[in-house]
Amino acid sequence: MPAPYVIRGSVFLPEAELMWRFSRSSGPGGQHVNTSDSQVELRFDLARTEALPSVWKERALERLAGRMVDGVVTVRASEHRSQWRNRETAAVRLASLLAEATAPPPKPRRPTRIPRGINERRLREKKQRSEVKRGRTGRGWT
């Protein structure tokens, strides 16, 4: 892999903790597909890693709970015919998944009140519209 993959800030995916598995991929490639292991499965043991700060690790374990098996996150890539490009894709996908899972929660929304002028204008326009519609009835035509 040419460069370390940044999760966020100065935290990187540790190469030593990545487990790679290769298998034959379906899709385009003709006879080449039958002989090369181009599909990539990248596994990262999130529960045992020391690369992430403890707060990030807890957050990621909580958010990725439905996606993990025994604390291990798995990402697959088989879009490309080349194993190398699939490795790149899988690593980038894992880094972005971890970046999203370790991101701090958004600030809670602070409720705001609707300004009185806006509410009065809305009610005034409703009343005008109702007068227009009432004026369209045939009552009073004798």
pLDDT in tens, 87-105: 899 999 998 998 888 888 8
pLDDT at residue number 59: 87
Helix (H) or strand (E) holding 47: none
- Residue 70 in this model has a pLDDT that exceeds 80: yes
Between 82 and 118, residue with greater pLDDT: 118
- pLDDT tens-digit readout, 5-49: 788 778 878 888 888 888 877 766 666 656 677 888 999 988 888
What is the percent of the chain where pLDDT is above 70? 88
pTM of the model: 0.68
Question: Is the Cβ–Cβ distance between 7 and 95 less than 8 Å?
Answer: yes
Question: Angle at Cα 50 formed by Cα 47 and Cα 55, nearest 5°?
Answer: 75
pLDDT at residue number 56: 87
pLDDT at residue number 129: 96
